Amino acid sequence: MNQSSKSFLLLLALIVSLAVMSSASWHSLEEIHYFKSFYPEEFSVAEVFYASAVELIKVTIIGAPFFLIMLVSLYLLGLSSRKDKND
What residues have CB less than 8 Å from 30, skipping those under 6 apart? Answer: none
Q: Is the pTM of this model over 0.85?
A: no
How many C-beta neighbours within 10 Å does residue 63 have? 18
List the pLDDT tens digit at each of the 87 positions of the chain: 677 888 888 889 889 999 998 998 899 889 888 888 888 787 788 888 888 888 889 888 988 999 999 899 889 888 877 776 776
How far apart are alpha carbons 70 and 84 in whole angstroms? 21
Instruction: Name the residue among 3, 6, 18 with its Cα closest to residue 71.
Output: 18
